[in-house]
A and B are shown apart, each in its own frame.
Chain A
Amino acid sequence: MSNVFETVDPRGWTVTCSEWAWNHHVLSARPWMAGWEDEVKATIEAPHMFIFQDADWEDRHIYYRQVSGKNWYIKVVVQVKEEGLAEMITAFRTDSMKSGEKWIWPISSDS
């Protein structure tokens, strides 16, 4: 199965997006996101300040990036496969983060 993209996030983690994931988890729900691959990739590469852990799944990480001039973020959810490797499972537009998401990067000096 080929990848739509493979990239590296600010932690140095490799994140892949397979064609199957793009078609079945993004476009099947939001067909208007066709052509948004580069925007989603850019969100992983340069998220807005932080990377978060999902509110319900410890092995899912989340990136947000505000699109310039717009009142929304692109949100990307990835599934951790192993330390340093994750796979995208969905992406969509949102105007806020979800309650319960936990900040995991950069690591707080308090931890």
Chain B
Amino acid sequence: MADIERLVATKKLKMTRLNEAQEKRVVSYFHYDPMFDALMIMFVPPETETVVHYIDHHVALLYEPDTREIVGIQVEAFERSFLSEHDQVRRVWRLSDATDDKIEDLGDMILAIERRKPEVAREVIKASRDLLGIPGEKMVAAFASD
């Protein structure tokens, strides 16, 4: 079977910045690409260079190439299949399920989206926690403070 060699082992990734993120208020970067159907959540600015480190066919860790410090996660096939496997994530993702967001105009929608972003980030990370192991536990703690 054709394969591409994995170049960096998961155990080589570092969690120093993740440890620091647990101790202070995390400002998360949240980006969803609907065409590629991938969600990125990071606790560093988007200008930070990253490498995608796949854990399974949905979830990947994002890390800095020079330091190997974990800085976020990427979830692929997010709407296509990840949501169907995680009810809590789907609940916060779908605006039509929002009973507390009264949306009458564009301003309401923008507010609802901004309010939902950290909720979605927390639920996605919680849903990925077991798969990610120790980094997942630390991310849950880091994003709980957002």
Chain A residues with CB under 8 Å of chain B are 24-25, 28-32, 48-50, 52, 55-57, 64, 66, 70-73, 75, 77, 79, 89-90, 92-100, 103, 108
Contact = CB atoms under 8 A, between A and B. Distances in A.
Contacts of A70: 65
A31 B48 CA distance: 9
A107 to B, nearest CB: 11
A92 to B, nearest CB: 6
Nearest to A99: B57
Interface stretch (B28-36, B92-100, B106-114, B135-143): B28-36
Interface residues of B, number: 31
B47 A96 contact: no
Contact of B47 (A24, A31, A93): A31
Contacts, number: 92
A48 B2 CA distance: 11
Given A66-B7, A93-B51, 5 more contacts: A32-B49, A48-B4, A73-B4, A92-B52, A99-B57
Contacts of B52: 75, 92-95
Interface string B1-44: 11111111000000000000000000000010101101010000
